[in-house]
Amino acid sequence: MVELSEELRESVDAFVVGVTQTSGGDDTKGALWTGKETLQLLKRIIGQSKWSTAAELLDMVRLEGQELCERVPSEAVVGNLIRRVLKLIRDEYHSAIRGRQEEDDTQDSLHKMMVSSSSTSDLRQPIPDLKSKIMESVEELMMELETSSEEIATQALEHIHANEVILTLGRSKTVERFLKHAAKERKFQVIVAECAPFYHGQEMATSLAKAKIQTTVITDSAIFAIMSRVNKVIIGTNSILANGGLRAVCGSHTVALSAKHYSVPLYVCASMLKLTPTYACDSEEGNKFVSPHESLRGLDGKILSRISSVTPVFEYVPPDLVTLFISNLSGHAPSYVYRLLAEIYHPDDYELTASS
């Protein structure tokens, strides 16, 4: 097993500290920031570690990925990108093997084909330029991350029409960019639920108002009452789960149920870096909890002494409440998530455990 150097170990620790210090409840600092930091760390691990085969690299990345997921369980983006990189390693290895077979004049030999097939499956055949090819693929993945928000925003005019009333919750940078892009050519109204106890919705409304979008802030308790006037709901999410459900900021389930009651379509703007092969029961283990002081503000001290309060950041939204995912790839129904998982991740990497 390849072990990390002291310098790389310090980089891992610094990464964990940086991620855990970011505020929860929305993506104001952002899944994009976390994703970039994760890829930068993986680039250092791949580039500076001493490994000779793809199998050794896979075990090392998988082991470090398992540790990172345990240390920052609420950041699903970290595990998702580690799985993406594991698939890139496999793809580059198999591509290199196929290239060698095409160059080999004797590749038609049955014995040669059997040997190459065996070496391909265990990923232990040394490839001289494998590291450089993997680094190039990681750079391409980095570019995908940087352009994903813009690619989602360019689809705005397909989904937002003139004089519509849009409801959103809290503040999502992706949704904010999506709405601002649509506002360049369409006139519409946005209703923003403030999303207590974080009140990021107020920041969202301020930003949209500066972009000349007609914006109204409402309390979370008014969501159901206002939903009958709404044409569609557009929200962000922390994660897209393997069954097509969401792990989204608290309040999202209320919004989704209200939209379902009034037959209002619910769209979720999220890039594919948020697609995770875990389910609701697994994601709840990585929930983030914050101080309940905002929720209990104004209560008498004697009453507080008898109250036990829990303030989770995220909650589960079932897939039957979601109409459409708008990602950097295109628009997808929740039922299509299984196909996306098969395309983006390798089945062996759903669980980040090192092979024996």
Q: What does pTM read for this prediction?
A: 0.85
**CATH hierarchy code of domain 153-344:** 3.40.50.10470
Q: Are 208 and 192 in contact (CB under 8 A)?
A: yes
- Tell me the domain boundaries of the chain: 6-151, 153-344
What are the C-alpha distances in Å from 70 to residues 37, 191, 299?
17, 37, 36
Q: Per residue in 86-109, pLDDT tens?
A: 999 999 988 888 776 665 544 455
Q: Per residue in 274-332, pLDDT tens?
A: 999 988 765 555 567 766 666 666 666 666 667 777 777 889 999 999 999 999 988 99
CATH class of the structural domain 6-151 = mainly alpha
Same fold, 6-151 and 153-344: no
Weakest mean pLDDT among 45-49, 125-129, 237-241, 340-344:
125-129
Rounded Cα distance between 356 and 125, Å, is: 17
Q: Per residue in 198-222, pLDDT tens?
A: 889 999 999 999 999 999 999 999 9
Structure tokens at 129: 């330029």
